[in-house]
Amino acid sequence: MIGRLRGTLVEKNSPEILIECAGVGYEVTMPMTSIYALPELEQQATIYTHFVVREDAQLLYGFANKVERKLFRLLIKVNGVGPKLALAILSNMSADQFVSCVRHDDISAIVKIPGVGKKTAERLLIEMRDRLKDWQAQQIHLVSDDGVIPEQLSAELSQETTFVNDNKGDAINALLSLGYKQVQADKAVKSVYNRGMSSENIIRDALKSMI
């Protein structure tokens, strides 16, 4: 089981990254909320991982902290929710925002996530309600090694982050991989794009515009 990776961030092709650890490059799929928190390329990064073995593939999912990974693991236990949909949920809202939706039965926010219909949203609210009863206690227990607690992470995600290698096309491809349709992705990116924006900032603003 691969639980954590620490190494050099080599590539960022949202929602996938390549991180080199001791000479080995690991391809990792991450939610956008975690990608926003990554350092620039060629910098050292630490990610917490969830390893999935299937008959046709071995997949590695990564997260900026243990809290996001914990929520991902809770989400994939819900009937009808697989890793792809769980990543879409965490790409469209932070862990705290999702927990708030569950606690307030905010189905309207959840159904805006691509791939989540009304029935799936209702199932999420029902099944996650009990699992998130002690969420605050779990957050305290799952503080990441670098000392970043969820509240600090949420504040960081709201700040502007500068990355290299701007690419409008990468932003559209990332939205498509999250389940949005071509027309939705094109329209959202076009509405927020400004010259010089990084792909991560384009994706973040495009996602905000659709929620």
What is the pLDDT, as a whole number, of residue 186?
A: 85
Q: Decide if pLDDT at 96 tops 90.
A: no
pTM of this structure: 0.71
For range 17-39, the mean pLDDT: 94
**117 and 92 in one domain?**
yes
**184 and 121 in one domain?**
no
161 within domain boundaries: no
For range 21-50, the mean pLDDT: 94
Three-state SS string across 121-136, please? HHHHHHHHHHHCCCHH
Q: Which amino acid is it at 100?
A: S
pLDDT tens digits along 139-156: 655 554 445 444 444 444
Place of tokens 């290299």: 164
**89 and 46 in one domain?**
no
What is the pLDDT, as a whole number, of residue 137?
A: 61
Domain count, the chain: 3
> For the domain that residue 191 is a member of, what is the CATH number?
1.10.8.10
Given 63, 87, 113, the domain boundary residue is 63
Asked if residue 15 lies in contact with residue 35, where contact means CB atoms within 8 angstroms, the answer is yes
If you average pLDDT over each of 4-13, 129-138, 188-197, which comes out highest? 4-13
What is the pLDDT, as a whole number, of residue 27?
A: 96
What is the pLDDT, as a whole number, of residue 166?
A: 47
39 DSSP 8-state letter: -
146 within domain boundaries: no
41 DSSP 8-state letter: T
Which segments within 66-186 are labelled E, that is strand?
A: none
Torsion angle, alpha carbons of 71, 99, 14, 183, to 10: 130
**Per the structure block, which two tokens stand in for 33?**
């909320």
> Which of residues 196 and 34 earns the better pLDDT score?
34
**71 and 47 in one domain?**
no
Q: Decide if pLDDT at 1 tops 60.
A: yes
- For 127, the domain range is 66-138
> For the domain that residue 55 is a member of, what is the CATH number?
2.40.50.140
**71 and 43 in one domain?**
no
**89 and 27 in one domain?**
no
180 DSSP 8-state letter: -
What is the pLDDT, as a whole number, of residue 65?
A: 92
What is the pLDDT, as a whole number, of residue 151?
A: 47
149 within domain boundaries: no
Q: Decide if pLDDT at 34 tops 90.
A: yes
The pLDDT-based confidence of 30 (bands split at 50, 70, 90) is: very high
CA-wise closest residue to 81 among 131, 142, 133 = 131
pLDDT tens digits along 46-83: 999 999 988 888 999 999 999 999 999 999 999 989 99
The β-bridge partners of 210 are: none
**125 and 70 in one domain?**
yes
Is the previous residue joined to 15 through a cis bond, with omega within 30 degrees of 0?
yes
41 within domain boundaries: yes
**70 and 56 in one domain?**
no
The β-bridge partners of 20 are: 8, 25
102 within domain boundaries: yes
For range 195-206, the mean pLDDT: 85
**171 and 131 in one domain?**
no
90 within domain boundaries: yes
The β-bridge partners of 7 are: 45
159 DSSP 8-state letter: S
**97 and 48 in one domain?**
no
What is the pLDDT, as a whole number, of residue 8?
A: 97
